[in-house]
């Protein structure tokens, strides 16, 4: 062996790998007629182009999916209500839930009053779907009664008003819908699976009142589900389907 240094492309045997890489990069830049800074910018642009290409592919996929959904949603055969009907509800910020369900039999009565031991189920008129946020319930007992504790209140969502449906939240008592002065006060409707409650177009919100006391008929009741009608119309009332659907 001799003490001669062995030459390699881009540097000497004693050079570090980093030094050899830099020397090779310098020679490459000289051959391409660019500076090392230009080369670094070129590599950066290449990485950005790859990221942009991936984003473009994602956008194309999303647009295709949305296009299919728009065609499905805008097809007249898939619409339950026309735009005219939807627009009609754009100013209504509450839904009255006061229509008695008749023909249930057993402990259920078909109309007011509700004697002790009996029940009544109240629904709203069929309408486009909505998302209630609060509910007001006013109760009137015979003989100026104040035994609102005797009135059990339960919420259901159902497709058939005569079927019990899915129970929503806990069982309430009539006094929970009044403040200390006896004035009806809206309560917040419970979440369902940690999401705001939605009543679909083919659904009914049902309020069941069960008189569990021993005195004073429930003479009348008024229930109203409160709706953010501005948000509802922004989501449902604008005919965004006109262009895609032709």
CATH 2.60.120 fits 84-235, yes or no: yes
As a residue count, the chain comes to: 246
Rounded mean pLDDT, 120-136 = 94
Q: What is the mean pLDDT of residues 153-179?
A: 94
Q: Yes or no: say if 151 and 174 are a contact pair by the CB < 8 Å rule.
A: yes
Q: How many CB atoms lie within 10 A of CB 236?
A: 16
pLDDT, position 236: 77
Report yes or no: 157 and 168 within 8 Å, Cβ to Cβ.
yes
CA pair distance 33, 174, nearest whole angstrom: 85
| Per-residue model confidence as pLDDT tens digits over 53-89 | 888 887 787 777 776 666 666 666 667 887 788 888 9
At residue 44 the predicted structure's pLDDT band, cuts being 50, 70 and 90, is: confident
How far, CA to CA in Å, does 178 sit from each of 139, 175, 206?
A: 9, 5, 20
Would the pTM count as exceeding 0.75? no
Q: At a CB cut-off of 8 Å and minimum separation 6, what does 231 contact?
A: none
Q: Cis peptide before 40, with omega less than 30 degrees from 0?
A: no
Render the burial of 102-140: b for 16+ CB within 10 Å, e for the rest: eebeeebbeebbbeeebbbbbbbeebbebbbeebbbebe
């Amino acid at each position: 062996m001799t003490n001669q240094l062995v030459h390699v492309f881009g540097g000497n045997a004693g050079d570090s790998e980093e030094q050899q890489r830099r020397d090779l990069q310098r020679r490459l830049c000289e051959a391409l007629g660019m500076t090392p800074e230009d080369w670094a910018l070129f590599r950066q642009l290449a990485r950005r182009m790859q990221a942009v290409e991936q984003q473009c592919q994602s956008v194309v996929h999303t647009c295709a999916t949305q296009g299919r959904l728009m065609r499905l949603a805008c097809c007249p055969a898939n619409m339950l209500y026309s735009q005219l009907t939807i627009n009609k509800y754009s100013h209504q910020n509450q839904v009255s839930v006061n229509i008695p369900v008749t023909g249930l039999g057993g402990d259920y009565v078909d109309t007011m009053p509700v004697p002790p031991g009996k029940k009544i189920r109240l629904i709203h008129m069929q309408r486009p779907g909505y998302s209630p946020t609060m509910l007001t319930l006013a109760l009137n007992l015979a003989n100026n009664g104040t035994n609102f504790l005797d009135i059990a209140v339960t919420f259901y969502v159902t497709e058939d008003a005569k079927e019990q449906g899915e129970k929503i939240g806990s069982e309430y008592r009539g006094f929970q819908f009044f403040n200390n002065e006896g004035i009806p006060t809206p309560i917040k409707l419970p979440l369902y699976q940690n999401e705001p409650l939605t009543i679909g177009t083919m659904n009914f919100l049902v309020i069941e009142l069960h008189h569990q006391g021993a005195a004073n008929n429930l003479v009348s009741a008024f229930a109203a589900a409160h709706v953010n009608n501005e948000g509802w119309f922004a989501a449902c009332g604008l005919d965004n389907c006109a262009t895609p659907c032709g």
